[in-house]
């Protein structure tokens, strides 16, 4: 890739515009965004798919149901014909546009439709939890880094306490407790089994991972001469934070966005796999993998497709994260090369 | 013209470091009983080695730092202990220029916004700010369309001009410049120094000019204070200090200044050893460990800054 400046463009550019131009020129950002766009478009089309193509309600079990395939009426759940002939074998993938494109799960529900609905939930939780993490972490990091002294010590110790627990251990224990009892604190009230609970839990456990680097950056920025110059000009604290510090912190927050969405999404899938994330009959990629676990030998497609979606989305997000980082800090790429 | 604008009285600054064991704090005395005064329209140069406290002194006078003890009387008011908010109205009159023009401009803001910031803080209207910013850009010799550019599009010399323009926005009376040209190329240094001089004549500015480059200080100053380990060891007019230095440290400093004149080389006087740590200040005269003319008495008796001839000197042996 060439990095030559166009000779005719003499207009002045802000650091942000330069980064955006670098990002637009980066092939990785195009690949990643198109992958993400496809996944998002697919998941958003879930209601359409369910009503027009699969023609089944993906949230209702059809254990004794039948379906007409190629003019023949067949049972959705058939008696197993393999091995010891124990248990039931859901209908396999038809690979034809129509009902049971990817087959049925152990409750006779259309896997393809559930996959798309599940994707909506997984992505919604991923994006919302990441947004929550980044907003809280930026706020906390800037306050801690800028105020210093006691406030900084208190905030840092609280973050340390959260950080001391492994992410999954903490989110699992929080989920187990909160999913049964719900969460009530002041005006904030989340009922048990609500979709907001995983968002809240995942958003919270990642706060220290973002807040600490931001705090460090603010600590360094606070000593920079342009901040001292603002103090020398008589600026108030709020002016310094919003005009001098925050514009220099935002790039790091931007770099965190794709990476945090990917992390939050993976955590959600893990929690849902353990039955402590999204609650049935709602679906998420994690719950579908769990559903497919028992069918791994006969109908591996049930567990594999959501896994594939998770991998594709996570790879795309990480690719985008790398591209954003390189665009905002071109030196980082050079550093990585050596 | 000889109206006093600033009087610094016995100012000290002690930094506490948490390096000691069992929470014991080490004390670093960066400034130790510094006193001088400044009249309106003059330029005081402050010179000394790295770590002698000259930058600390500049920051304390502009109240970016608070002295541990002593008085800073600006136009009759002691500003040494004023709080940040009480200092705010005075920031208009006292401006500080930093050493590194690469660090003292926010990389994410346009030059215009940077220059207008102090005016915005002090509540000037938008049109008024814009007009003044354009006027100042012209005054410091920058193109008018610099207004919409970002700091990364400028060279060091141009950036320092922006910094100077920002310092001038509120029509200050006292400007404290902390090595304002040391980060610049020699060819650019002269330009920026001349700019400082022109602005002084035009706007009746008073300067405190901190530098380690004796040539720079000589060019711009009326009086010079030589500092060593947090103290002023000699204070006098430029002519006296350069032509007839009294303190052995001043003599050594001046002889270290490179000259084109080859015959001067023979008088080069080299100081041995490093500047002592301010953590562990030598007893008596703090210069006695490196002084070429020290006598045993120097390690016990601390010299006071006193008037000798035309200059103030802090040395036991100069009479």
Per-residue pLDDT of B54-110, as tens digits, reads 888 888 888 888 888 888 888 888 888 888 788 888 888 888 888 888 888 888 888
CATH number of the domain within which B32 lies: 3.40.50.300
Nearest CA-CA distance, residue A262 and chain B, Å: 29
Whether A148 is in a domain gets the answer yes
How many residue pairs bridge chain A and chain B with CB atoms within 8 Å of each other? Answer: 71
**Structural domain range at position B36:** 4-93+170-313
Put simply, the answer to whether B107 touches A15 (Cβ < 8 Å) is yes
pLDDT band for A331, please (50, 70, 90 cuts). Answer: low
Question: What is the count of structural domains for chain A?
Answer: 1
Put simply, the answer to whether B166 touches A13 (Cβ < 8 Å) is no
Amino acid A148: pLDDT:
79
Within chain B, residue ranges assigned H as helices are: 54-61, 84-87, 111-121, 126-139, 156-168, 186-203, 214-220, 238-243, 248-256
Whether B81 is in a domain gets the answer yes
Put simply, the answer to whether B117 touches A233 (Cβ < 8 Å) is yes
**Structural domain range at position A219:** 121-280
Whether B128 is in a domain gets the answer no
CA atoms of B170 and B33, how far apart (whole Å):
31
Put simply, the answer to whether B121 touches A228 (Cβ < 8 Å) is no
Whether A181 is in a domain gets the answer yes
A257 membership: H or E segment, kind and range: helix A246-273
Q: Best mutation site among B106, B137, B166, B180 for testing chain A: the one with the most A CBs within 10 Å? A: B106
Amino acid A2: pLDDT:
43
Whether A226 is in a domain gets the answer yes
Average pLDDT over residues B18-44: 80
Q: Is the pLDDT of residue A98 over 80?
A: no
Q: What is the pLDDT of residues A120-144, one digit of tens each?
A: 999 999 999 999 999 999 999 999 9
Put simply, the answer to whether B121 touches A236 (Cβ < 8 Å) is yes
pTM (predicted TM-score): 0.79
Of B84, B104, B122, the CB nearest to A226: B104
Put simply, the answer to whether A248 touches B100 (Cβ < 8 Å) is no
Q: What is the pLDDT of residues A289-315, one digit of tens each?
A: 998 888 888 888 888 999 999 999 999
User: Is B115 within 8 Å of A245 (Cβ atoms)?
Assistant: no
Nearest CA-CA distance, residue A17 and chain B, Å: 11
**Which chain B residue has the Cα nearest residue A17?**
B108
Question: What is the count of structural domains for chain B?
Answer: 1
A324 membership: H or E segment, kind and range: helix A301-328
Put simply, the answer to whether B121 touches A14 (Cβ < 8 Å) is no
Of A15, A231, A235, the CB nearest to B108: A15
Nearest CA-CA distance, residue B95 and chain A, Å: 7
Cβ neighbours, 10 Å, residue A101: 18
CATH number of the domain within which A191 lies: 1.10.3720.10
Of B96, B100, B103, the CB nearest to A232: B96
Beta strand segments in chain A, E: 66-69, 72-75, 77-79, 88-90, 183-185, 188-190
Whether A194 is in a domain gets the answer yes
Whether B110 is in a domain gets the answer no
ipTM, two decimals, is 0.77
Percent of chain B surpassing pLDDT 70: 94
Whether A201 is in a domain gets the answer yes
Whether A256 is in a domain gets the answer yes
Put simply, the answer to whether B103 touches A234 (Cβ < 8 Å) is no
Mean pLDDT of chain A: 84
Whether B129 is in a domain gets the answer no
Contacts of B251 (CB under 8 A, 6+ apart): B245, B269
Nearest CA-CA distance, residue B290 and chain A, Å: 34
Whether A227 is in a domain gets the answer yes
Average pLDDT over residues A222-226: 87
Whether A37 is in a domain gets the answer no
User: Is B304 within 8 Å of B314 (Cβ atoms)?
Assistant: yes
Amino acid A5: pLDDT:
45
Chain B contact set for A14 (CB, 8 A): 108, 110, 150
Segment among A19-23, A70-74, A223-227 with least mean pLDDT: A70-74
Nearest CA-CA distance, residue B136 and chain A, Å: 16
């Amino acid at each position: 890739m060439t990095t030559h400046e166009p000779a005719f463009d003499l207009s002045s550019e802000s650091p942000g515009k330069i980064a955006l131009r670098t990002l637009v020129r980066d092939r990785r950002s195009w690949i990643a965004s198109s992958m993400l766009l496809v996944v998002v478009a697919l998941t958003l089309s879930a209601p359409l798919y369910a009503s027009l193509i699969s023609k089944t309600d993906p949230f209702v079990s059809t254990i004794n149901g039948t379906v007409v395939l190629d003019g023949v009426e067949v049972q959705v759940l058939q008696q197993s014909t393999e091995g010891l002939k124990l248990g039931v074998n859901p209908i396999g993938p038809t690979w034809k546009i129509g009902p049971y494109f990817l087959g049925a799960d152990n409750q006779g529900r259309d896997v393809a439709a559930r996959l798309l609905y599940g994707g909506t939930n997984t992505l919604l939780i991923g994006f919302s939890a990441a947004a929550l993490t980044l907003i809280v972490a930026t706020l906390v990091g800037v306050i801690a880094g800028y105020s210093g002294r006691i406030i900084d010590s208190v905030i840092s110790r609280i973050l340390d306490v959260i950080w001391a627990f492994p992410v999954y251990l903490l989110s699992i224990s929080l989920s187990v407790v909160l999913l049964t009892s719900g969460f009530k604190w002041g005006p904030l009230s989340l009922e048990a089994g609500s979709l907001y609970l995983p968002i809240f839990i995942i958003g919270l456990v990642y706060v220290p991972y973002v807040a600490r680097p931001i705090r460090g950056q603010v600590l360094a920025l606070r000593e920079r001469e342009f901040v001292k110059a603002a103090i020398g000009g008589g600026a108030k604290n709020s002016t310094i934070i919003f005009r001098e510090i925050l514009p220099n912190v935002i790039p790091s927050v931007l770099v965190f966005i794709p990476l945090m969405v990917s992390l939050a999404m993976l955590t959600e899938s893990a929690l849902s796999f353990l039955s402590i994330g999204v609650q049935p009959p709602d679906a998420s990629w994690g719950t579908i993998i769990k559903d497919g676990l028992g069918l791994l030998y006969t109908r591996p497609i049930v567990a594999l497709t959501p896994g594939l979606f998770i991998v594709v989305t996570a790879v795309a997000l990480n690719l985008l994260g790398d591209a954003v980082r390189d665009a905002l800090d071109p030196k980082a790429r050079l550093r990585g090369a050596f | 013209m000889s109206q006093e604008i600033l009087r610094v009285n016995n100012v000290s600054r002690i930094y506490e470091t948490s390096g000691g064991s069992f929470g014991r704090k080490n004390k670093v005395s960066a400034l130790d009983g510094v006193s001088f005064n400044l009249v309106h329209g003059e330029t005081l140069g402050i010179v000394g080695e790295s770590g002698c406290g000259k930058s600390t002194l500049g920051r304390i006078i502009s109240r970016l730092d608070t002295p541990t003890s002593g008085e800073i009387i600006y136009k009759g008011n002691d500003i040494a202990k004023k709080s940040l908010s009480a200092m705010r109205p005075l920031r208009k009159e006292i401006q500080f220029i930093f050493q590194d023009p690469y660090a003292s401009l926010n990389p994410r803001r346009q030059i215009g916004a940077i220059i207008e910031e102090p005016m915005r803080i002090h509540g000037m209207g938008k049109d008024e700010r814009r007009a003044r910013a354009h006027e100042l850009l012209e005054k410091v010799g920058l193109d008018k369309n610099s207004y919409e550019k970002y700091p990364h599009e400028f060279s060091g010399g141009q950036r320092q001009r922006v910094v100077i323009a920002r310092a001038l926005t509120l029509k200050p009376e006292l400007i404290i410049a902390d090595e304002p040209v040391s980060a610049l190329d020699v060819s650019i240094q002269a330009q920026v120094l001349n700019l400082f001089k022109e602005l002084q004549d035009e706007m009746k500015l008073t300067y405190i000019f901190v530098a380690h480059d004796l040539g720079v200080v000589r060019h711009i100053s009326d009086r010079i204070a030589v500092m060593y380990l947090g103290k002023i060891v000699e204070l006098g007019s430029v002519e006296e200090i350069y032509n007839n230095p009294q303190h052995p440290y001043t003599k050594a400093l001046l002889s270290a200044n490179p000259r084109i004149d080859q015959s001067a080389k023979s008088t080069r006087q080299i100081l041995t050893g490093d500047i002592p740590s301010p953590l562990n200040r030598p007893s008596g005269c703090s210069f006695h460990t490196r002084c070429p003319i020290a006598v045993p008495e120097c390690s016990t008796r601390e010299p006071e800054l006193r008037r000798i001839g035309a200059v103030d000197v802090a040395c036991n042996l100069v009479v």
